[in-house]
Amino acid sequence: MFKRILAGVFLLATILPLRAEEPLKPYRVLIVISDQWKDPRSFLVSGGGEFQTLVTMFKSWGIPFDILRLDQTLMDPSHFADFAGKARYGAILWDVPGEVSQADQALVTDAVQKLHISLIAIGDRVRQPGIQRLLGIQFKSEHMNSAHPMVKGESFVLRGVGPDLRQQGPDVISMQREQVEVTDAKVLADAGGAAQVTEKEIDPDTRAIWIGGDPDQMLLYQGMRTALRRSVTEAIGYSLTKSWTKTIILTMDDMGNAQNAWLEHWHYPALSEAQIRHSMVEPLQAHHAILSLNIVPGFVDDAQHKIVPTWRQLFTDGFGTRQDYVSTKKGLDEGVALGVLEIESHGWTHMQPDLDSPPGPWWGSPLMDERAEVGWYREFYDIRRNREIPAAEQKFHMEQSADWIQHEFGQLPLEFSTGGNGISRSPDNNTWRLAAEAGYGYYGGYLGRDLAVEGRADSTADFGGSDDVPLLLPAPPDGHDRGIAHDPEGFAKVFDKYPGYAFTGLDEYIGYQHAAVQLASGA
Ligand SMILES: [Zn+2]
């Protein structure tokens, strides 16, 4: 599946170095932290905080990076130099609170001065004297302060970003502000007279940039995130990044699920080919838009007590409603062929793996009895019995979903999402980790072989709707096919509500996150 993700995005661009006389630095950043990665296995990124924000941003920007966690790793010269002794990175992003040994500070100093790897430090992660010397500042103290960082003078890093860097974010009265003495750097922004963004030219192609602020809050502001992204460009000397300004990804859940046939409070007829064409495909075509559908390829067959392909189901349900999933499939096929519908995974069945044991069985139960309990219709956490779904069972359902979608639509889904946000979160059964291992590329956050971000379980995304992350918007009227059944004209209204936006698909966003951009050898 990852091959397809990689093949899904072709980045063709000419990289223009800012300083043409120098060889290009590697297009890769080393993010150095201490103990902010809560997962001792270095896989799941969760719990919020600036570290999760950095990972989310760098993946979304498409800037490749590695992570050096000093709580588990002894710093080694080979963290910075490759086999040939050349720089492995274009820049180091220093996010290390607390003590760092003199020897380790000397290694970073060598990496900057001898290997010409630029340095970017954020917030109060500048308490180490060796780091301060590289940045050309001296840390004195930090205190609560209400002043906003304001741009001073001309610089590439903050050009067009200001004047107030704390725009577009939470409205807070005060936050921690570092007070530093600038010994040998240019001040690019200050807050109430205290320098807050500084840049030092170590040599013609190497920079040391400090972006001050409260690490817990500073990256919640668009101006600060843009300053960080620009700093990476300035530090490496070039960049190829993706911006998601005014970009919306529409998502819709549930086509093919069994709830609409068997769950009393979620009952409606499956959408027909004509309904899909009229309410979805035609408006999408008219606006050059894409809709990403989280669909369910497996269906509970009561007569056989087994899971069967959804899109062959044609029956009258217990409420006397004709359910024609064959017609639904025709509508989906038409939309996929026209390039306006994208098929993603909403699990295999949208149902409990165990439909037999107490308080069941669900199989064959009366309509207004166990069958009316929503807990049976959740696949990756057992809401009916209030317990997690074991890892192997989850993995099987995830792999079945991808396999059956491939058989039914001829393409593998890149995104995974659980039905009804039913998720297992313990380390052993963590649904995000398992989805990453099953080969999916995104579930509310990046999923890959290197790491998985526990993103938002609903259809939105952290920082969605900013320059950095597209807005993942549950498609009106209600983010489900159910909404179309009740309000056939409700979906098309989204285009009037968001004039001037581009409506792209999830696969494109996932492709950028997995692009793994590299500098061509010999450049
Ligand atoms: Zn659902």
At 288, which helix (H) or strand (E)?
Answer: none
Q: What's residue 162's pLDDT?
A: 85
Q: Residue ranges of the chain with pLDDT lower than 70?
A: 1-22, 521-523
DSSP string across 302-370: TTTTEEEEGGG-EEE-TTS-EEEHHHHHHHHHHHHHTTSEEEEE--SSSS-S--SSTT---TT--TTTG
Cα 348 to middle of ligand 1, angstroms: 11
**Residue 285, amino acid:** Q
Cα 296 to middle of ligand 1, angstroms: 9
Cα 350 to middle of ligand 1, angstroms: 7
Q: Residue 233 corresponds to which tokens in the numbers above?
A: 């460009």
Cα 458 to middle of ligand 1, angstroms: 10
* 346 contacts: CB under 8 Å, gap ≥ 6: 253, 254, 256, 257, 294, 295, 296, 401, 417, 418, 419
Cα 418 to middle of ligand 1, angstroms: 7
pTM of the entire predicted model: 0.93
Q: What's residue 4's pLDDT?
A: 45
Cα 255 to middle of ligand 1, angstroms: 8
Cα 504 to middle of ligand 1, angstroms: 22
Q: What's residue 10's pLDDT?
A: 40
Cα 125 to middle of ligand 1, angstroms: 43
Q: What's residue 96's pLDDT?
A: 98
Q: What's residue 18's pLDDT?
A: 52
Cα 272 to middle of ligand 1, angstroms: 18
Cα 131 to middle of ligand 1, angstroms: 50
Ion ligand 1 neighbours (CB, 5 A) are 253-254, 419
Cα 401 to middle of ligand 1, angstroms: 14
CB 404 within 8 A of CB 298: yes
- In degrees and rounded to multiples of 5, residue 305 shows phi and psi of 55, 45
Cα 448 to middle of ligand 1, angstroms: 23
CB 234 within 8 A of CB 156: yes
Cα 422 to middle of ligand 1, angstroms: 9
Q: What's residue 518's pLDDT?
A: 87
pLDDT tens across 410-447, in order? 999 999 999 998 999 999 999 999 999 999 999 999 99
Cα 254 to middle of ligand 1, angstroms: 5
Cα 153 to middle of ligand 1, angstroms: 52
